[in-house]
Chains A and B, each alone.
Chain A
Amino acid sequence: MALDDIYKEVILDHYKNPRNKRDLPGAEVSCTRNNPLCGDEITVFAHVDDGTVAELTFQGAGCSISQSSASMMTEAAAGRTVDQTLELAGQFRGMMAGEVEPDDDRFGDLVALKGVVKYPIRIKCAVLAWDVLQEALQDTGEATGARPHTVG
């Protein structure tokens, strides 16, 4: 049943027990965005060290989809290079557009969000965290001379 697809344990688990939901003092990168349609809001903080996303945390409020997506993202992206992270973001978007069949190894828990494809109006919620992360990382290039900025 669709209900199970979308609100499977994994999503609820991340929503109720979010991972890496905290401030990150001294973060080189941070960015805030909201989705006025439903009031979801997410701030992403990252330590970018030598082209690698060394540590990634978030703060925010909103629906289960937006918040669980952010939580899963912090787990999936940490430790990857900026390039790899941006590529993963692209693939995640592809999954939400119904174009990319996610592979479990790279996606981990994020696969659970696949069911959201059936609810076009909520895809925005699922990709919000990724929008924020992408925007935050964009200017860093290979992370050299990264400067924090805020949008939103």
Chain B
Amino acid sequence: MTQTDATATATLEVKGLHAAVGDREILRGIDLTVQQGQIHALMGPNGSGKSTLSNVIMGRPGYRIMEGSVTFNGEDITALPPDQRAKRGLFLAMQYPTEVPGVSVVNFLRTAYQAIKGEQISALAFRKHMKTQMDRLGIEDAMVQRYVNQGFSGGEKKRNEVLQLAVLEPTLAILDETDSGLDIDSLKLVAESVNELAGPELGVLIITHYQRMLNYITPGFVHVMMQGKIVKSGGPELAHELEDKGYEGVRRELGKVHGRPLVYLDNAATSQKPQCVIDGEARYYAELNANIHRGVHALSQQATDAYEAARDTVRRFINAARREEIVFVRGTTEAVNLVAASWGQRLQPGDEILITEMEHHSNIVPWQLVAQATGAKLRYLGLTDDGLLDLSNLGELLGDRTKILGVTAMSNALGTITPLKQLVDAAHAVGAIVVVDAAQAAPHMPFDMDGLEADFLAFSGHKMLGPTASGGLLAKREHLDRLQPMFGGGDMIREVFHDHATWNDVPYRFEAGTMQVAQQVGLAAACDYLDALGMEAVRAHEVDITRYAIDRLLEAGAVVYGPKDTDIRGGTVSFWYHDIHPHDLATILNEEGIAVRAGHHCAQLVMRRYGTPATVRASFYVYNTNEEVDLLVASLARAGDIFAS
């Protein structure tokens, strides 16, 4: 990287920087110089330390510098409070801008402006300054009259950050993951604004974990950060080497299904698989295949290592507290059945199991079997007219007799996201355990098993880019210790005698026989893939496409089931179009190259609740686009013509 004369231009210089959060060292020797007039991009996977670096530069509390220096224009700024750093011309656009209720954007900016410039400015003069910047960025008056970030869309929040940048006129700006959670149109707008502001007066450090923003902003310098270090620096071409990470890469790879262009909107049933997952599974067979946990030979050990590493990856992905809290199973159905068959044995007549009418059959039928076998009573939380769980009689249904609450985190028929935390707390208050069906939630939104404190949680790998027969049952350690194994066989025992056997450790006692090793290894590749995209970004993408789809479908006259508010729903959209029977509609859409599901979606209680035998269901994932929604809606119109009488 070329160094120009540091005295003439503002220069940020980071040297040999080591920094920690608590006891954990995150930055492990960073060297980086950014000058006014330059655009740098700092790229790297989640957790590589990029945001920590920006926080340390800005002096956010909670970070400890262990070694090295951060200077701005030759001055050591590490001891300065954040506002002093801002006064000297540093600016940080945050990844998650916070709301400031009661303060309008314009007032907020004027206060900040005066603080940074150290001078009073009349409201009128400030207005003028601001108006100039707003015109430059094409920002409308209405936005700056609103309270800061309150009710702003993801795109508006980020544009507001860019407006701050323009108004406050720093010499060096750090844009931390400014592209995260933006749909492509908002992204372009934000990128254009940054391009507008960039110039000899401004140095920019763009922090991002994927490359798509760099399709619109060309940095002069690109740095790749991994595990707290900058591992590679280069020119703009370096960003393109990393190209295959972003959505565009995913799209290129997965937009065609089995080599054919197909609009695949049946992701709630199962997702497509990226090449790295297919390769990961194949590589296991080609290079590591041996039976696990039993061989003395090296290959068996390597296979075991791969399988156990997959467990660690899943733990990280879903944020379970401990690795032994993950039992590998072949999917949600097996996970729920394991809990039902084992935990269910303890129930007695008079005990109650509470589930909801929103459940997939795999979270209903196992409980019916338990109820039949034990004499326990199965009860249901109902649904409201607009597709939510009806909690009005929760207090009545959930009581001392309730031993188990089974609930989905996201409905596969309606898309509804349920208020899990509330339900978990309510169940725990009466001493019931909670079994969460996360088959639809885990693939589509950030999940925090530890924070949720659910007792059991089930998910399927095949719905989250992973192989079939991969998946997990997550459970609190103390529950697993008390849970009877469902399957007996090899690997799950410690010692076997004529009349009894003792169990292996948790979780191995629940993994009898030869497991689906290659598939769980493939699942780990899928988790890494989703992690690289960022689950926040995955969710944001789906919120955008779902909002677009619902709007377009309603506009076209479709009846959409479930909530319309994307804050409380995922990207699974069930609908009827005119009175065309779902099977007829799905058949026509198939002819148009669009794969949707039609039927009851293994949720007959939901169908019955809303008085329909079936719906058409379009369900979106990371690779789907608004253009595909347009194709869907256009095909609906053609179906309408065919069936018009």
B586-645 with Cβ < 8 A to chain A: 587-588, 591, 598-600, 604, 607, 612-614, 642-643, 645
CB nearest to B604 among chain A residues? A36
In contact, A39 and B612 (Cβ under 8 angstroms): yes
CB nearest to A67 among chain B residues? B581
Evaluate whether A16 and B645 lie within 8 angstroms (CB atoms) in the complex, with A7-B588, A65-B583 already known.
Answer: yes
Given A37-B599, A62-B581, 9 more pairs with CB closer than 8 A: A6-B587, A7-B588, A12-B642, A16-B645, A39-B600, A39-B613, A63-B583, A65-B583, A119-B587
Check if B582 is an interface residue, CB within 8 A of chain A: yes
In contact, A1 and B591 (Cβ under 8 angstroms): yes
Q: Which residues of A contact B581 (CB under 8 A)?
A: 38, 62-64
B592 to chain A, nearest CB (A): 9
- What are 18 A-B pairs at a CB distance below 8 A? A1-B591, A2-B591, A3-B588, A7-B584, A16-B645, A37-B600, A38-B581, A38-B583, A38-B614, A39-B600, A39-B607, A62-B613, A63-B581, A64-B581, A64-B584, A64-B643, A122-B583, A122-B587
Q: Which residues of A contact B604 (CB under 8 A)?
A: 36
Check if A125 is an interface residue, CB within 8 A of chain B: yes
Q: Which residues of A contact B583 (CB under 8 A)?
A: 38, 63, 65, 122, 125
Q: Which residues of B contact A3 (CB under 8 A)?
A: 588, 591
CA distance A14 to B579 in the complex (A): 16
Interface size grouping (class) on chain A: 10 to 19
Evaluate whether A12 and B643 lie within 8 angstroms (CB atoms) in the complex, with A39-B612, A39-B613, A64-B581 already known.
Answer: yes
CA distance A40 to B581 in the complex (A): 10
Q: Which residues of B contact A122 (CB under 8 A)?
A: 583, 587
- Which residue numbers of B lie inside 8 Å of A, CB to CB? 581-584, 587-588, 591, 598-600, 604, 607, 612-614, 642-643, 645
In contact, B584 and A63 (Cβ under 8 angstroms): yes
Q: Which residues of B contact A36 (CB under 8 A)?
A: 600, 604, 613
CA distance A140 to B642 in the complex (A): 40
Q: Which residues of A contact B612 (CB under 8 A)?
A: 39
Bitwise interface map of A from 75 to 92 toward B, beta carbon under 8 Å scored 1, else 0:
000000000000000000
A35 to chain B, nearest CB (A): 9
Q: Which of B587, B591, B604, B645 has the most CB of A within 10 A?
A: B587
B69 to chain A, nearest CB (A): 68
Q: Which residues of B contact A63 (CB under 8 A)?
A: 581-584
A80 to chain B, nearest CB (A): 29
CA distance A16 to B642 in the complex (A): 11
CA distance A2 to B592 in the complex (A): 11
In contact, A38 and B613 (Cβ under 8 angstroms): yes
Q: Which residues of B contact A1 (CB under 8 A)?
A: 591
Evaluate whether A39 and B645 lie within 8 angstroms (CB atoms) in the complex, with A63-B583, A63-B584, A65-B583 already known.
Answer: no
Q: Which residues of B contact A37 (CB under 8 A)?
A: 599-600, 614
B502 to chain A, nearest CB (A): 46
B193 to chain A, nearest CB (A): 47
Q: Which of B581, B599, B642, B643 has the most CB of A within 10 A?
A: B581
